[in-house]
Structure 1
């Protein structure tokens, strides 16, 4: 509280917002803020938080994390934010969502997007594929569907992609001309994904395929493909089994 008077402040380490509407309004007074990290957000006073964020015309990085509730107790958060001519470059949302917020695809300057514990039931890729500056995308516990489809021509600038702990995912489809700039592809703890997506051969610029904690069948297929040398993919691809790329 009382930080609203620091109107020229551009960055604050972290803001813990639980049930305090006053604190949320105070943050909204920091109109020069470029980096905002909100922790322990309960979903109460949701409209107040959205209004406060809308006042920050210079915001470049936004991170919002809800309480560490058990999966059965987690409430859905509806973030309805209007960001016209936004300068936002980095967005991290750690919360349960009913659907992908429709304002995210409108962020024309967004470079990095992380969705965590979102439990989306609809494939979010179609909404994100035309974002002109998106270069890093991470989905962790973020999707409850069985199939992810990267459509032709989508994600032109994406260089790093992380798909992690998507418990029901059993198929990844990659159309020709999708992900033309992808260099780093991390697949982690996808227990239902037993086979390597054949369409990965379309990723001509792929340099690193990182597959820690993947099913045995998946890893064995990669080894078999490498030995048989019948899989057409960019020569010089590195497959990493036990480390994590930085997303």
Structure 2
């Protein structure tokens, strides 16, 4: 009966199943929930053409069956969508999901989360990635760094979580001139080196590298080398219990001061490391050893 309803917010209510009658709310612009199932709307969600925000939709309900495929296909009719959040994504959804996202020319924010850490996110947006996309989160395994991400020249924020990448993604991101925030967490990168080259990432203002408990459990040496935007210690270094050497070379003054043994507010994060070395921007070498 709420024919003029524009916002339907079901977050923090525990409601998961959406009744098909929601399809009658043709003025609805924002539909917000927590892992809500829209399988009941698989034949009518595309009729709510005024929708601008759709978050957080679960694709778990029908497994890989026809119902979830129909739902994903319907999403491609939402031409005015600005924000889309999906959870429970698996490889089998890839081609259908890619086709629908390619139709969302107004999309500004996209959050994709896989069903589990073993499930692969496999999107193919090479031909026509959303031109207005500013915020992208990929939470799940990526077999390779997506080739279409560097094509998103309006992208401001990129979050990679649980990606399990082994090739340095920085070489693909280096020409993204508008990227301001980069978040790497939860085993997003399992290679040996993240390389930020000279004159790259000139606009980056927020760099967050997170080591979660249990990740890199055998790591003995970690080197942070000339990351001017990194002003604080990467979150979770305290979890690297076997770390023997931490090298901080040519890091900004704010970073060095934050971990200083002489009153640095974040020194506690690295105090378990037997050997910590600093080489400041002016060439000064500082070595702290517990042996």
TM-score, scaled to structure 2: 0.65
Name which of 93, 96, 109 aligns with 2:154.
Answer: 109
Q: CA RMSD in A?
A: 3.1
Distance 1:123 1:213, change over 3 A: farther
What does 1:223-234 align with in structure 2 at a 5 Å threshold?
231-232=280-281
Shift of 1:76: 2.6
TM-score, scaled to structure 1: 0.76
Name which of 36, 45, 48 aligns with 1:6.
Answer: 48
Distance 1:17 1:217, change over 3 A: same
Q: Return 5+ residue gaps in structure 2 as ranges.
A: 1-40, 260-264, 283-291
Other-structure match for 2:21 = none
Task: Answer yes or no: is 1:163 the counterpart of 2:209.
Answer: yes
Name which of 78, 93, 96 aligns with 2:138.
Answer: 93
Whole-angstrom distance in 2 between the partners of 1:172 and 1:129: 20
Distance 1:52 1:185, change over 3 A: farther
Distance 1:79 1:193, change over 3 A: farther
Task: Answer yes or no: is 1:142 the counterpart of 2:188.
Answer: yes
State the SS of the aligned residue for 1:197. strand
Other-structure match for 1:121 = 166
Other-structure match for 1:197 = 248
Name which of 76, 94, 102 aligns with 1:46.
Answer: 94
Which entry has the higher C-alpha Rg, 1 or 2?
2
State the SS of the aligned residue for 2:86. strand
Shift of 1:75: 2.8
Task: Answer yes or no: is 1:36 the counterpart of 2:36.
Answer: no
Distance 1:53 1:219, change over 3 A: farther
Task: Tell me the alpha carbon deviations over residues 46-95 of structure 1, each in whole angstroms, 9 at most, x when there is no partner.
Answer: 1000110000000000000011x3x5xx1333221133571100000001
Higher relative contact order (CA 8 A, sep 6+): 1
Shift of 1:40: 1.3
Name which of 80, 84, 92 aligns with 2:124.
Answer: 80
Task: Tell me the alpha carbon deviations over residues 74-126 of structure 1, each in whole angstroms, 9 at most, x when there is no partner.
Answer: 13332211335711000000010111101101110100000000000111111
Task: Tell me the alpha carbon deviations over residues 118-175 of structure 1, each in whole angstroms, 9 at most, x when there is no partner.
Answer: 0001111111122111010010120111222111111111111111127347444545
State the SS of the aligned residue for 1:132. coil
